[in-house]
Structure 1
Amino acid sequence: MDRLCERDPWYDEMKNAKKKMDQLEKVGLMEGIPERCPCGGRILVRISENDGDKGKRYYQCDVYKNDGLHIRKLWDKAMEEEVTNLREEIDTHHKKIQSLEYYQQEMRSELKDIIRRIGSQGFRYLGPFIAAGPWFKEIVYSREVLLDADLDEFMFNTRLGREESIYRPFLLRCAAEGHKTARYIESLRRLTQVGPSVEALEMLGEVGMIVNRTFMARFETLQDAIDIADVVESQLEQAYAFLGTLRGDATSK
């Protein structure tokens, strides 16, 4: 096909015309500060000596001819286009950043829910996330995760809540966010080790009110709750009496 075209007497002329059209299009589309002319020439800064625009600066091709195939652009216009292009690029990047921030928030929310559910199975499971770095550590210390953390182990092993324990800072964080178990454990520690205080009694009172409300919600009438409480009290008295008997027998032996 190319050989047939080359035999056409108008081939070279059409080829040159196409080249000029392409070059004209490139010259027309080039915005901002030009780096090189479409013809391949270097771009220089020239000062006009014409009467109409004398003293004005131009970006101009070093082999410039007034045929529309070479760059010659007013310096002010080139700068204006460059600033406009930069502004558009900044706006585009800003939108991308906003989009990334949105997805990051979505991902953070999903991860927070996952970590919250993991922590609800036991506070020790949160340790690897705390050690993973500041980003995960911040999620673990969020209110949602701390309030739902399972602290039952602190109830069974009181050493975990002592002042020298490495787990105590986590317990205090949970207590500060209003975790019922954490506040109960801390109130008991203060009452037994520090002594009675308004703050400790208030913390213990808050837990007592929550337990009372939870207990009362299980029954339809107040009398049902009183009857159950009487049964529990009777069982406790029997248990204490039995323990006293065992201790007496052990002492006599």
Structure 2
Amino acid sequence: MDPSDERRDMKARKAHYDTLHFVTDSMQGIQERCVCGQRLLRERAPAEVFDYLPGKRFFTCKNYKDDGMHYRQPWVCAVEEELGIINRRVEKYEEHKSLVVKLEVQNKELKAQVEMLIARVSELERWRSS
């Protein structure tokens, strides 16, 4: 094989594997669309299939082929990941909320200090002018 052809083939394979990696990496939570742009269908496995539990549910691309370029994600995994994402958001919200409360307390303290300083400055101005 010619080295340039071999290099071209290697780059094409690398691009293909990178795309597979991106697709699998993007399968987190409940997706609405596949990488190809098609909407995901909610399907239930037929009872005749014995390699997994009958009636197992999936989020599947309308154009699903078992080539790694389309989504077919078990419903349970997607829901678990979505709950994890929501839990992380709630934790961040609670963290931000506690920071806001701390900042409000600091704001009140600073306002009191500013009022005290304003009173002190006006007192010093009266003292200087007399």
Indicate yes or no: 2:26 matched with 1:33. Answer: no
In the TM superposition, residue 12 of structure 1 has moved relative to its aligned partner by 4.6
Give TM-score, length-normalised by structure 1: 0.40
Q: Which residue of 2 aligns with 1:96?
A: 96
In the TM superposition, residue 8 of structure 1 has moved relative to its aligned partner by 2.7
In structure 2, list runs of 5 or more residues that go unmatched: 124-130
Q: Which residue of 2 aligns with 1:70?
A: 70
Distance in 1 between residues matched to 2:9 and 2:20, nearest whole Å: 16
Distance in 2 between residues matched to 1:24 and 1:110, nearest whole Å: 55
Q: 1:42 to 1:33 in 2, by over 3 A?
A: same
Distance in 2 between residues matched to 1:64 and 1:105, nearest whole Å: 55
Q: Which has the higher helix share?
A: 1
| Cα displacement string for residues 95-146 of structure 1 (whole angstroms, at most 9, x for unaligned residues) | 1222232223222211111113435658xxxxxxxxxxxxxxxxxxxxxxxx
Distance in 2 between residues matched to 1:14 and 1:73, nearest whole Å: 29
Aligned pairs for 1:101-250 (under 5 A) are: 101-119=101-119, 121=122
Q: Which has the higher contact order (CA 8 A, sep 6+)?
A: 2
On the 8 A contact 1:61/1:71 being kept in 2, the answer is: yes
Q: 1:68 to 1:88 in 2, by over 3 A?
A: same
Q: Which residue of 2 aligns with 1:43?
A: 40
**1:34 partner amino acid:** Q
In structure 1, list runs of 5 or more residues that go unmatched: 1-6, 123-253
In the TM superposition, residue 84 of structure 1 has moved relative to its aligned partner by 0.8
Task: Decide which of 16, 24, 47 is 1:20's aligned counterpart.
Answer: 16
Number of corresponding residues: 116
In the TM superposition, residue 78 of structure 1 has moved relative to its aligned partner by 0.7
On the 8 A contact 1:23/1:39 being kept in 2, the answer is: no
Distance in 1 between residues matched to 2:116 and 2:107, nearest whole Å: 14
Larger Rg: 1 or 2?
A: 1
**1:43 partner amino acid:** L
Q: 1:37 to 1:12 in 2, by over 3 A?
A: farther
Q: What do you get for the CA RMSD once the two structures are aligned?
A: 2.4
Distance in 2 between residues matched to 1:8 and 1:95, nearest whole Å: 55
Q: 1:90 to 1:27 in 2, by over 3 A?
A: same
Q: Which residue of 2 aligns with 1:8?
A: 4
Give TM-score, length-normalised by structure 2: 0.72
Where 1:68 maps in the other structure, the secondary structure is coil
| Cα displacement string for residues 188-235 of structure 1 (whole angstroms, at most 9, x for unaligned residues) | xxxxxxxxxxxxxxxxxxxxxxxxxxxxxxxxxxxxxxxxxxxxxxxx
Distance in 2 between residues matched to 1:39 and 1:19, nearest whole Å: 16
In the TM superposition, residue 67 of structure 1 has moved relative to its aligned partner by 2.9
Identity %: 28
